[in-house]
Structure 1
Amino acid sequence: MKQLLIFMRIISGLFSFFGCNNQKETKIIATDSSGNVQTINPNELLMTIPTIENTFPDFENKSDTNNLKILEDDWRQIEFVSKDQKHLIDQEIDSITYIFEHEMHQGKDYSTFKNLYVRRLITKPVSLTFEKVQLYLGDAKNKLAGININGNVGQVKNGFSISSQGFNYYGIKDENNVVSVLCFYIADTDVGSEISVDKISKFLKAENLYIVDWVHRQIADEKNVKDFFSY
Structure 2
Amino acid sequence: MAGAKTVRVTFVDGETGRELGRSELAAEALPETFEVETTLHLGDEDWAVERAEPPTAARFVATGALTLTLRRVETVRPDGILYSLPTLCERLPPLGGPARDGDAFEIHEDDWRQVELISAELDALIADELLAVRRVYDEHARRDEHGRLYGFEAIHVRTGPDRPLPRPVSLRRLSSILPPADHRYTGVGFRNAGVIAGSFAFAVGPLVLHGLAEGDLATTLCVAVGRPGTPERLADVAGALREAMRSFDLRLVDWCRCAAVTADSIADHLAAVAPE
- Please state which band the TM-score falls in when normalised by the shorter chain: 0.7 to 0.9
**For residues 46 and 207 of structure 1, do their structure 2 counterparts lie closer, same or farther at Cα, with a shift above 3 Å needed?**
same
- 1:183 equivalent to 2:222? Answer yes
**Structure 1 residues 138, 38: closer, same or farther in 2, change over 3 A?**
farther
Deviation at 1:91, TM superposition (A): 0.2
Matched, 1:65 2:95: no
Which one of 158, 161, 169 corresponds to residue 209 of structure 2? Answer: 169
Compared CA separation, residues 125 and 38, structure 1 to 2 (3 A) = farther
1:27 counterpart residue number: none
Residue 111 of structure 2: aligned partner: 74
2:184 corresponds, among 143, 153, 159, to 143
Q: Secondary structure at the match of 2:271?
A: coil
- Aligned counterparts of 1:133 and 1:163: Cα–Cα separation in 2: 13
Structure 1 stretch 39-48 or stretch 178-187: which is displaced more?
39-48
Structure 1: 5+ residue stretches without partners: 1-35
Q: What is the total number of aligned residue pairs between the two structures?
A: 194
Q: Which residue of 2 aligns with 1:129?
A: 170
Question: Given residue 111 of structure 1, which amino acid in structure 2 is its aligned partner?
Answer: Y
Separation of aligned partners in 1, 2:181 and 2:119: 27
Using the TM superposition, give the Cα deviation of residue 130 of structure 1 relative to its aligned residue in structure 2, in angstroms: 2.2
User: What is the CA deviation profile of residues 165-219 of structure 1, one whole-angstrom value per residue up to 9, with x for unaligned ones?
Assistant: 2321110012x43211000112244232111101110011111000010000111
Partner Cα distance (1:37, 1:74) in 2: 32
Q: Look up the match of 2:244.
A: 203
Please, which runs of 5 or more residues in structure 2 have no aligned partner? Answer: 1-71
Which structure would you say has the larger Rg?
Answer: 2
AA in 2 matched with 1:46: L
The answer to which of 205-214 and 143-152 deviates more is 143-152
Secondary structure of the corresponding residue to residue 102 of structure 1: helix
CA drift of 1:136 comes to 2.7
Moved more, 157-166 or 142-151: 142-151
2:83 counterpart residue number: 47
C-alpha distance in 1 between matches for 2:75 and 2:224: 34
* Mapped contact 2:199–2:213 kept (Cα < 8 A): yes
Report the residue type matching 2:155 in the other structure: L
For residue 40 of structure 1, report the CA deviation from its aligned partner.
Answer: 4.0
SS in 2 for 1:125: coil
% identity of equivalent residues: 19
Output the CA distance in 2 between the equivalents of 1:118 and 1:230.
28
1:119 paired residue among 140, 148, 158: 158
In 1, the alpha carbon distance for the partners of 2:171 and 2:74 equals 46
1:38 to 1:147, Cα distance in 2 relative to 1, 3 A: farther
1:194 equivalent in alignment to 2:230: no
How much has 1:115 moved relative to structure 2? 0.5
Residue range with higher mean Cα deviation, 216-225 or 91-100: 216-225
Distance 1:171 1:60 in 2: 14
> How far apart are the structure 1 equivalents of 2:207 and 2:173?
17
Task: Flag the 1:197–1:45 CA change in 2: closer, same or farther, 3 A.
Answer: same
| 1:94 partner SS | helix
Distance (whole Å) between structure 1 residues aligned to residue 189 and residue 216 of structure 2: 20
Deviation at 1:128, TM superposition (A): 1.2
Q: What amino acid does structure 1 have at the position aligned with 2:137?
A: F
Q: Secondary structure at the match of 1:145?
A: coil
SS in 2 for 1:59: coil
Amino acid of the structure 1 residue aligned with 2:151: T
